[in-house]
Each structure stands twice: as structure tokens, then as C-alpha cells.
Amino acid sequence: MIVLKKHLAQDCGKESKYSCDLFLERHECKNCNKHYKNVGDLRRHQRLECGKEPTNECTLCGYKTYRAPDLKLHYLRPRFACSKCLRTYKYKYDLRKHVLNECGKEPTRECTMCDFKTFRTNGLNIHYKSVVFCMQCGRSYKNLQTLRMHVKLDCGPVACPKCDKLYKNANSMNSHFYQDCGRAKRFSCSFCPACFKRKQQLLVHMSRKHQYYMP
């Protein structure tokens, strides 16, 4: 009955935008763009996972997960350990490749945007897909939300596209761009030659420099 009500409320009569109706992942997280099949999974992801570090970590190989049951399953899988560094692998083939090409050596694949290094090209490709970079300063972030916050508050200096004046961050530049840039200084001080583009700036000036408050 609950499933029927959900179908009537959300799906019935609506045309799917997906070519395949199996395993639809229609619910998108706005912060990291991951998709989920139902609202419950999306909400659990946003509450427990999005933008956070996994808290369950394997003591043998560094595997991390958000859920304790996943870590238990990880421990139950067969493992092949390197006798030198004790790193474990799921398959014997991967262990041999590690011993021949990796163990005791420096990683040869390096991210051009941050300090991340790896032995394998696919590991570098996964890294590039799992992080987002600020195009202005090159710093890396784990999701779009933290990148947007960085651009808004930290990243600078930012130049005004009209007058090329520099500001310490995007917030300050936007304030200048939309409120001041290109405007004439129409508000003049009655006590000195100072002029301002906004009345509020004039009032602040008069109260600080001349101890005068407008009635």
C-alpha cells in the first residue's frame, strides 16, 4: 500500500527521462552531484556522508567506508599481504604487481594541481574525478560546496571585470561590481572635500571623521 501511494504521488502518469527503467537514480545531491534511487538514500548520504571523511577504516590496508557493515564485509574478504610493507591485496596478481613495481619505490604519477601521488594511471584518473579544483588558485576540495565557499570567502585577489580593481575575495568584488563600479560620486561631505558613491558611505564617513550624525 505504501509503495502504491508513493508511485501515485511521484511516478504515475509521468514520463521517465531515462531510457532504462531499471535501477533509476533520479535523486541528485546538489553538493557533490551523486545520484540515488530514492529520497531516503539521498537524505542519509547528506546527513552522514556528504562532505565528511569516512569514519570506519581498515587497520590493515587503509580502506575507508562510512558504514560499519561495509567494513565487516571488507575484513571477511580473502587478503594477500606484502611481507615487506604488510599492505594487503584482494588478489594475488595485485600483490605480485605491487612487489615488482611499487614496494619501496616512489610513486611516478603525480597530480599537477596538488601533492597527490600514485603508482597507477587509473589511480590518478580517479583522483581527478573525486576532487574539484579552484581554477584561480589551484587548491583542491572534496566537493563543490567547499569549493564554492572557498571562492566566495578565501580565494583572491579577484579583479573587477570592468575596472580591473583588485579585491581580496569574490564577495568584496561582487559588492563593488554591482553597487559601485562605474557610478559617479554623488554624495559630498559638508565638512571636507570627500565624495562617495553611496549615501551609506557618506554617513559612515561623517560619523567617524567629523563625529556628526544625520538626524
Q: Which three cell numbers stand for residue 93?
A: 596478481
What would the mean pLDDT of 178-187 be, rounded to a whole number? 83
**Cα 103 to chain centroid, rounded:** 32
Cell digits of residue 113: 594541481
Q: Which amino acid is at 21?
A: D
Is the distance from CB of 120 to CB of 110 less than 8 angstroms? no
The Cα–Cα gap between 50 and 29 comes to: 9
Q: How far apart are CA 29 and CA 42, in angstroms?
A: 7
Measured CA to CA, the distance from residue 19 to residue 38 in angstroms comes to 18
Strands 140-141 and 109-110: unpaired
Range 185-215: architecture per CATH:
2-Layer Sandwich (3.30)
Quick one: pLDDT at residue 85?
86
pTM of the full structure: 0.35
Between 5 and 51, the more confident residue is: 51
Identity of the amino acid at 119: F
Per-residue pLDDT of 135-146, as tens digits, reads: 677 777 777 788
* Amino acid, res. 11: D
Q: Which of 106-110, 167-171, 178-182 has the highest mean pLDDT?
A: 106-110
Give the chain's mean pLDDT.
79
Per DSSP, helices labelled H in the chain are 2-10, 39-48, 68-76, 92-101, 121-130, 144-153, 170-179, 199-209
pLDDT (0 to 100) of residue 82: 86
The lowest-confidence range among 61-65, 132-136, 182-186 is: 132-136
For the CA atoms of the chain, what is the radius of gyration?
28
- Say yes or no to pLDDT of 23 above 50: no
Neighbours of 134 (CB within 10 A): 16
Least confident of 40-54, 58-72, 133-147: 133-147
